[in-house]
Structure 1
Amino acid sequence: MKNTILFLALMMIFTAYAVGQEKLELYTDGLPNAKEKVDLGDNLPELYFYKPTEIKHKITFLIIPGGGYSHVAIKHEGHDVAKALADQGFPAFVLRYRLPKADQMLDKRTGAIQDAQQALSYIRSYSISLGIEQGKVGVLGFSAGGHLASTLSTHFDTDYLDKGRSSVTLRPDFSVLLYPVISMNDDITHKGSKKNLIGPDFLQSDVDRFSNELNVTKNTPPAYLMHAVDDKVVPIENAERYRNSLQKNGVACKLFVYDTGGHGFGLVNKTDARSWFDDMIVWLNDLKF
């Protein structure tokens, strides 16, 4: 009897984890920006869809995990967040983007943003067939994923896949940037992310191009930012500079600050009882798009 109960409990847990998760084919016409006859290993883009049991909002999230552009922290900064959003009735997608690799890519600087733009376009193109009411689509990114999310939010005038897509299609409706890498300037950047994305030889044009606090305009999407003061991996000045640029351009934004917590904690900062996640939902519900 005990074994039966244990088995049923485990099945319930597994079902709860698996329900609503679907792996989607991001590219149907071949992988762009890939060198011919090169073994890509597991450095392949993937898109996972979490459909809530009951969709309660006309807002969809594209989640981009961090990892310093050296790996993708897809569980605690991806799948766990998607499940939390789905539990609140938000459709959510998790992107595993390609890591910058010069031996695999024609241009390693653009592989990740190509995948992010493709994912955003995919969500907008297939929302109805996926059972999502057409509405707002925002991007949520952690750390280096926050850098990619801010790139998606400031580079929408450039179609990195050269498919003639408009800035309207490529612009997220809002951004959630969580302990994000924003700048490529040495005084505040995460040097590992910088080296992996645009190194090892740094052109000033690339530093400026991917320092996204410099790319904010009045058309940049509203942004919710979160950072900890004691983050020694990615200084809080990254979030502050992006917020300041948004404010100068009259773009709605909020910076949620923890005194402690460091870097990379994901959904829950165990050093502080406040929840950035709950605060972000309140901010989003109050946002006038």
Structure 2
Amino acid sequence: MSAAPTASTSASASKGPPVVVQSTGSGNSILRGNPVLEHIRNVAKEWADIVPDFQVGRTTCALFLSLKYHRLHPEYVHQRIQKLGNMYNLRILLVHCDITEHQDTLRELTKMCLINNITIIVAWSAEECALYLSTYKVYEYKPPDAIRERVDKDHMSILRAALTSIRSVNKTDVTTLKTTFSSFAGVAKATQDQLVKCPGIGQTKARRIKDAFDRPFQNRPATTIADVVPLNPARTKQPSAGAMGPPPVPVAGPSKQPPPRPPREPSPTWSIELDLNKSTLHYQNLRDLQQFLFPLTTRH
């Protein structure tokens, strides 16, 4: 174990996390004497001036917290998270549960981790804490094939993967549907009444299977341009007040057109000497003035 030169926390935060050698994890010097370090095996460790307690990868860090210490100093973990800021992509709070009444404390820590985008891991011994840290370091460059679902290339495996994507449909239901309808096309063409007759499939499950094949992928129909803008919008211009002339004479007989608008009242005679003071200007004068000055304005 080699000791790295110490520097201030602000300097390390500005320069970013130190480069971690593969298969080597970095530990904060404040953890000297922590019993977790004695149980870290299969990976090398070194001291470094870092903001978190452990750096188990280029973009992964961990903060260690003992619940017994947290009860005595509840502000400690908040200060550490605030100092951590937005550094690292995966941030872990490794909690050592070494007290008996831990339910309320873990609930509050979980809320805090959700707010600060931190993954909380609860361990019950120092050996388990060390095992988590070692596993994160060992699997730093491992592909996710070990935890990825494996789908075989045969017909039954593909059929099972497709039908189990429907809610509440399990592998036993897939075997029943395959035996009853012989093929995927037979299941897709089956009616809801035929699906209900299969053992283990009720009304709710049959409706979900039928909806998976019949309902469109979109929840609402797509809106076309014709629904928003008419193809040939009729744009009619209303004639001006002077060109209207006398109202048209209605023709005898049934008429589908609405009755014509009555002619408006004549505008008052304009005078330059009109008093526009607030004390004498009323709403009727404003309306008459507007109609006289802007007779061609069309109200929409």
Whichever structure has more helix as a proportion of its residues is: 2
Does TM-score exceed 0.5, indicating one fold?
no
* TM-score where L is the length of structure 2: 0.29
| Greater radius of gyration (CA) | 2
